[in-house]
Amino acid sequence: MTTFEANFTKGEYQRRIVKTRKAMSHKGLDAIVVCDPSNISWLSGYDGWSFYVYQAVILTHEGDPVWWGRAMDTLGARRTVFMDDDACIRGYDDTFVQNPEKHPMTNLAGLLKELGLEKARIGVEMDNYYYSAAAHATLVRELPDARIADATALVNWQRAVKSEREIEYMQRAARIVEVMHERILEVAEPGMRKNDLVAEIYAAGIRGAHGYWGDYPAIVPMAPSGLDATAPHLTWDDRPMETGESTFFEIAGAHRRYQCPQSRTLFLGEVPQKYRDAESAVLDAIEAGLEQAQPGNRAEDIANAFNAVLNKAGFEKDSRCGYAIGISYPPDWGERTISFRRGDMTVLEPDMTFHFMPALWLDDGGLEITEPIRITETGHECFCTTPRKLFVKT
């Protein structure tokens, strides 16, 4: 039973479950087994760094969800889930943990049988970081009379439109990432070791802002400089920052597991003209994309508008320029549903939230100026107030 102030009311969890059950009915599923920690938390409230072992939430069409995981983690479940009944918190003993002779899914199969699901049509998240080929093979073997179906992203899609409280948490995360960028501008300078700068970023993010504490981000800070910044997804080392190099900072504020990522780029020294040209092109393209960020439009409308302006200025981006965000755990702060790319015909709705991520990688550096946004009843709003420009320190 929860022993501290819950992140959401029981009524909000029940509304989420109703939505999810409708999606289950549409796919003809009697039950789902959800292993993604973001979906586990969204359905039950569970929050713990235990996703390195097998855990799940089982949802059927009746009653509360059942949390299942390592026995020692049932204590954390009792402190965080909304379910009051101890029968909804089930643990497997430690002999199943990382033991090649015993797979935890054997235990889960036994629980599913206990719940009367041995012949049910059960949805699993087959394309997910936390559900392995061995897990699936074991579940299929142990439930020979059940029909195991792919329910990848079924729950993720129910998370697309945020509640008022979810928006509030993302707004708090936005205040935190603003402070993180402010700290970068305060302390970054030539000669500063990159790991020391990242330590400052982490400290600002965890301390939080405006009285709201900082949670851990779902992705570590990405802060490559110079030629390293010609590629995405590099992190940091101990090399000092240098004059004449750009560094982009792809970071996120986080609060109660809700993520607000935002990127900015810092150039130390005199800015070459090609960076100014890229900055101008990206800023104009962002404005064009944001004009399409309104309810009733499609996700591809933002990408098409952005790319049209960017291409006209002589630049190209061959990857998507945005994606849905919300509650997340490592290794990704995206929701793995909606993308801003040509062909994504998802209709935008009020209170959908995205990271509009128009990054460019040049031949000697990178430029990231991005915005977390919310679709509103009449258009959109940016979560952050960080100045939208290339930052320069000489």
Domain harbouring 229, CATH code: 3.90.230.10
Averaged pLDDT of the chain: 96
Domain co-membership, 235 together with 370: yes
The first and second tokens of residue 274, run together, are 């090609």
257 part of a folded domain: yes
Cα–Cα distance, 177 to 209 (Å, whole number):
9
Residue 4: its pLDDT value, please? 58
Domain co-membership, 177 together with 301: yes
Domain co-membership, 61 together with 133: yes
The first and second tokens of residue 148, run together, are 């195991």
Percent of the chain past pLDDT 90, that is, above it, reads: 94
356 part of a folded domain: yes
Domain co-membership, 68 together with 87: yes
Q: What is the DSSP string of 42-75?
A: HHH----S-TTS--EEEE-SSS--EEEEEGGGHH
For residue 323, is pLDDT > 90? yes
Tens of pLDDT, residues 142-172: 999 999 999 999 999 999 999 999 999 999 9
- Give the domain-ending residue among 127, 158, 189: 158
Per-residue pLDDT, averaged over 75-91, amounts to 96
For residue 2, is pLDDT > 90? no
For residue 191, is pLDDT > 80? yes
CB 371 within 8 A of CB 348: no
372 part of a folded domain: yes
Residue 209, C-beta contacts closer than 8 angstroms, at least 6 positions apart? 172, 175, 176, 178, 179, 253
Name the pLDDT band for 6 (thresholds 50, 70, 90). Answer: confident
Domain co-membership, 128 together with 265: no
- Nearest-5° Cα angle at 69, 67 to 71: 115
Cα–Cα distance, 196 to 92 (Å, whole number):
42
Tens of pLDDT, residues 24-79: 999 999 999 999 999 999 999 999 999 999 999 999 999 999 999 999 999 999 99
CATH number, position 51 = 3.40.350.10
2 part of a folded domain: no
Q: What is the DSSP string of 156-202?
A: HHHTSBPPHHHHHHHHHHHHHHHHHHHHHHHH--TT-BHHHHHHHHH
Number of domains in the chain: 2
Domain co-membership, 112 together with 186: no
Tens of pLDDT, residues 198-221: 999 999 999 999 999 999 999 999
Domain co-membership, 186 together with 138: no
Residue 361: its pLDDT value, please? 84
Domain co-membership, 75 together with 129: yes
- Give the domain-ending residue among 124, 158, 192: 158
- Nearest-5° Cα angle at 333, 328 to 337: 90
229 part of a folded domain: yes
Tens of pLDDT, residues 227-236: 999 999 999 9
What is the span of the domain harbouring residue 276?
164-393
Per-residue pLDDT, averaged over 350-361, amounts to 94
Residue 193: its pLDDT value, please? 98
For residue 3, is pLDDT > 80? no
Domain co-membership, 262 together with 337: yes
Cα–Cα distance, 246 to 15 (Å, whole number):
46
Name the pLDDT band for 1 (thresholds 50, 70, 90). Answer: very low
Residue 229: its pLDDT value, please? 93
- Give the domain-ending residue among 158, 187, 215: 158
CB 56 within 8 A of CB 194: no
Domain co-membership, 117 together with 51: yes
209 part of a folded domain: yes
For residue 359, is pLDDT > 90? no
Domain co-membership, 254 together with 331: yes
For residue 289, is pLDDT > 80? yes
Q: Where are the alpha helices (DSSP H) in the chain?
A: 10-26, 37-44, 74-80, 104-114, 133-142, 154-158, 164-187, 194-207, 273-291, 299-312
Tens of pLDDT, residues 247-272: 999 999 999 999 999 999 999 999 99
287 part of a folded domain: yes
4 part of a folded domain: no
Domain co-membership, 54 together with 93: yes
